């Protein structure tokens, strides 16, 4: 087989010594071919490195059996968990997932939506709720099921699956204040929509308690190092700081590591709260107190709603708010 030339059904047929129709029948329904022939065809496919060409099926059925998923980050475990939930559902139904990365950019999301639609995906799962006018126009014209997930937009494009980030942040900060800490600073990164929702919840809790909100933020992406830097800045700007509510666990773990370096006891000298309930928080000493977010469940519900819509069934809850909780960490 010449390098760069994809093997065809005819190549497999020639190698086995059967007709192309027999190979095609094997591809559609292996049990319809004699057992001895099945073994030969399977061996030829393995030897030649045959890759099934789905384009003809897509063109004939106007369906790709593929769900597109757009995520803002490929390095963030939060979105990996979401995709795992999606694929737990799509895999069982014989659907594939096509994943694209937007980098928290509306412009890049627009490009990726256009790319997804060019592959005739049957449905789309979006992890942002702010979209460019052209993205909205393309999705409207495509007429495919769309789920916005991770948060709950005020006016969903079609369906939505998420949680109330503002309420979760409010309850976490209220718990910090109830523990006796009054100088609570919000440490934020990236400043995406979910970070801003948590900021609103933080500010409401502080004001309700008669305390002055204080936010230390960066536009950079979250990291352990960034958490340490934000704590350093918080202590410089607000020397009385004795508690921090972090927009995610990466920032919170970075804060705890910096506290150890500075000789600050957690939670006695510095209470630390995170968000998302990632596994690394459980490995910290003390265990990180964090908001537990149902990431895999959001993926599963999003995929389920897409597949229901493709079957012509409107989901019972097209806009689904999933529950969150606060773990029993010891850092607050």
pLDDT at 27 over 90: no
Read off the pLDDT of each residue in 267-286 and give the average, rounded to a whole number.
97
- Lowest-confidence region among 26-30, 73-77, 216-220, 225-229: 26-30
What pLDDT is recorded for position 57? 53
pLDDT at 154 over 70: yes
Whether the Cβ atoms of residue 108 and residue 73 lie closer than 8 Å to each other: no
| Residue whose token pair is 């803002």 | 72
Signed CA dihedral, 166, 302, 71, 138: sign only? negative
CATH homologous superfamily for the domain 63-163+296-322: Response regulator (3.40.50.2300)
Q: pLDDT tens for residues 53-73? A: 655 555 445 577 999 999 999
Same fold flag, 9-53 and 63-163+296-322:
no
What pLDDT is recorded for position 9? 85
Whether the Cβ atoms of residue 234 and residue 185 lie closer than 8 Å to each other: yes
What pLDDT is recorded for position 61? 53
* Residue among 197, 178, 302, 184 at smallest CA distance from 247: 197
pLDDT at 117 over 60: yes
Q: What is the 3-state secondary structure (H, E, C) of the chain?
A: CCCCCCCCHHHHHHHHCCCHHHHHHHHHCHHHCCHHHHHHHHHHHHHHCCCCCCHHHHHHHCCCCEEEEEECCCCCHHHHHHHHHHHHHHCCCCCEEEEEECCCCHHHHHHHHHHHHHCCCCEEEECCCCCCHHHHHHHHHHCCCEEEEECCCCCCCCEEEECCHHHHHHHHHHHHHHCCCCCEEEEEECCCHHHHHHHHHHHHHHHHCCCCCCEEEECCCCCHHHHHHHHHHHHHHCCCCCEEEECCHHHHHHHHHHHHHHCCCCCCCCEEEEEECCHHHHHCCCCCEEEECCHHHHHHHHHHHHHHHHCCCCCCCCEEECCCEECCCCCC
- Lowest-confidence region among 21-35, 72-86, 158-172: 21-35
**Highest CATH level, class, for 9-53:** mainly alpha
What pLDDT is recorded for position 144? 94
What pLDDT is recorded for position 48? 80
195's CB contacts (< 8 A; 6+ apart) are 188, 189, 247
pLDDT at 271 over 90: yes
- Lowest-confidence region among 46-55, 85-94, 285-294: 46-55
What pLDDT is recorded for position 239? 97
Residue 240's pLDDT band (cuts 50, 70, 90): very high
What pLDDT is recorded for position 7? 80
Q: pLDDT tens for residues 286-322? A: 999 999 999 999 999 999 999 999 999 989 899 999 9
Query: What's the CA gap between 318 and 37, in Å, rounded?
Result: 48
Domains of the chain: which residue ranges?
9-53, 63-163+296-322, 165-292
**Mean pLDDT over all residues of the chain?**
92
Counting Cα atoms < 13 Å in the Cβ hemisphere of 36 gives 2
With respect to CATH, is domain 165-292 assigned 3.40.50.10890? no
Buried b (16+ CB within 10 A) or exposed e, 231-243: beebbeebeebbb
Counting Cα atoms < 13 Å in the Cβ hemisphere of 246 gives 32
What pLDDT is recorded for position 307? 96
What pLDDT is recorded for position 291? 98
Read off the pLDDT of each residue in 277-294 and give the average, rounded to a whole number.
97
Whether the Cβ atoms of residue 90 and residue 308 lie closer than 8 Å to each other: no
pLDDT at 5 over 80: no
Query: What's the CA gap between 148 and 159, in Å, rounded?
Result: 6
What pLDDT is recorded for position 212? 96
Q: pLDDT tens for residues 251-270? A: 999 999 999 999 999 999 99
What pLDDT is recorded for position 166? 98
């Amino acid at each position: 087989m010449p390098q760069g030339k994809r093997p065809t059904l005819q190549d497999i047929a020639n190698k086995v010594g059967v007709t192309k129709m027999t190979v095609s029948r094997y591809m559609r329904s292996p049990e319809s071919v004699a057992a001895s022939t099945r073994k030969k065809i399977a061996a030829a496919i393995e030897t030649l490195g045959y890759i099934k060409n789905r384009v003809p099926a897509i063109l004939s059925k106007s369906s790709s059996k593929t769900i597109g998923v757009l995520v803002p980050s490929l390095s963030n475990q939060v979105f990996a968990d979401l995709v795992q939930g999606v694929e737990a559902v799509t895999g069982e139904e014989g659907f594939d997932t096509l994943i694209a990365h937007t980098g928290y950019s509306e412009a890049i999301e627009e490009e990726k939506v256009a790319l997804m639609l060019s592959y005739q995906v049957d449905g789309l799962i979006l992890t942002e709720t702010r979209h460019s006018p052209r993205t909205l126009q393309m999705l409207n014209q495509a007429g495919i099921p769309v789920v916005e997930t991770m948060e709950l937009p005020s006016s969903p494009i079609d369906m939505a699956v998420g949680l109330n980030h503002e309420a979760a942040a409010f309850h976490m900060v209220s718990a910090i204040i109830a523990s006796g800490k009054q100088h609570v600073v919000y440490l934020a990164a990236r400043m995406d929509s979910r970070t801003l929702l948590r900021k609103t919840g933080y500010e409401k809790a502080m004001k309700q308690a008669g305390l002055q909100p204080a936010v230390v933020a960066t536009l950079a992406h979250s990291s352990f190092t960034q958490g340490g830097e934000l704590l350093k800045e918080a202590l410089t700007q607000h020397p009385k700081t004795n508690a921090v509510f972090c927009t995610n666990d990466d920032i919170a773990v970075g804060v705890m590591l910096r506290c150890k370096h500075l000789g600050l006891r957690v939670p006695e000298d510095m209470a630390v709260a995170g968000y998302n309930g990632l596994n690394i928080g459980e490995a910290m000493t003390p265990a990180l107190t964090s908001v537990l977010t149902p990431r895999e469940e959001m993926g599963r519900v999003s995929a389920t709603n897409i597949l229901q819509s493709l079957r012509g069934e409107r989901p019972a809850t097209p806009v689904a708010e999933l529950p969150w909780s606060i773990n029993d960490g010891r850092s607050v």
